[in-house]
Amino acid sequence: MPRHSTSPTLLDDVKTITITNLKKWEYLKPDSHRSGVITWSWNGQKTSSISIAVNIISSSPYMELSYTCNGTPYDYKVQLTQRPANIGRGHVWYFICPHTQKLCRTLYMVGNRFLHRLAYTGCLYESQTLSHNNRNLHRLLDKVFGTDKLYEQLYSKHFKSHYAGKPTKRFLTIQEKLKQAEGINYAEVEKLISCI
């Protein structure tokens, strides 16, 4: 009899539905009811798809999902809610997990339903599975090779470096990372790489 796998399910590799994508696809427009299909692909090949309907007109907004998983049809609703934004203007959309009732902005499909990540046991992000040395190496390599991405963000079209005359947190974070990248000891990089 084969042994069960002891390696954890990686949340980075499972199918997800995010509030960010729903907004990008215009499902969260005020007073709207929209439906469509979400598809996932791997290396350009379609791997799966689900039907989705988002009703914002209702007094209790919801997203309805319809799909078949391992031969079993699923059709259920995930409630949506808004909370005031922390900047004091506007609102932020959240899912209400049908299993845990927790608010979240990303739903993960580990088994056969899209739920909050805490609804599953034994699931980790890939970064949580790295050894201490590998985490240090990743941090260091990110400082060495991540400067291009930082400059891309800094000079992107809608990037705001200041708000109400003060530097934004994002701008200060990018500046700090660029300063750290300038002070890298390349002997330390070579030492870490030789340990692998």
Percent of the residues in the chain that have a pLDDT greater than 90, as a whole number: 46
Distance from C-alpha of 137 to C-alpha of 142, rounded to nearest angstrom: 8
Higher pLDDT, 194 or 103: 103
Question: Residue 119 has what DSSP assignment?
Answer: G
pLDDT of 195: 65
pLDDT of 2: 60
Over 80: is that where the pLDDT of 88 sits?
Answer: no
Q: List the beta bridge partners of residue 34.
A: 54
Kindly indicate the confidence band of residue 1, based on its pLDDT and cuts at 50, 70 and 90.
Answer: low
Q: Using alpha carbons only, what angle is made at residue 137 by residues 132 and 139, rounded to the nearest 5 degrees? A: 95
User: Could you tell me which residues come within 8 angstroms of residue 80 by beta carbon, excluding any fewer than 6 positions away?
Assistant: 28, 54, 56, 61, 62, 63, 93, 94, 95, 96
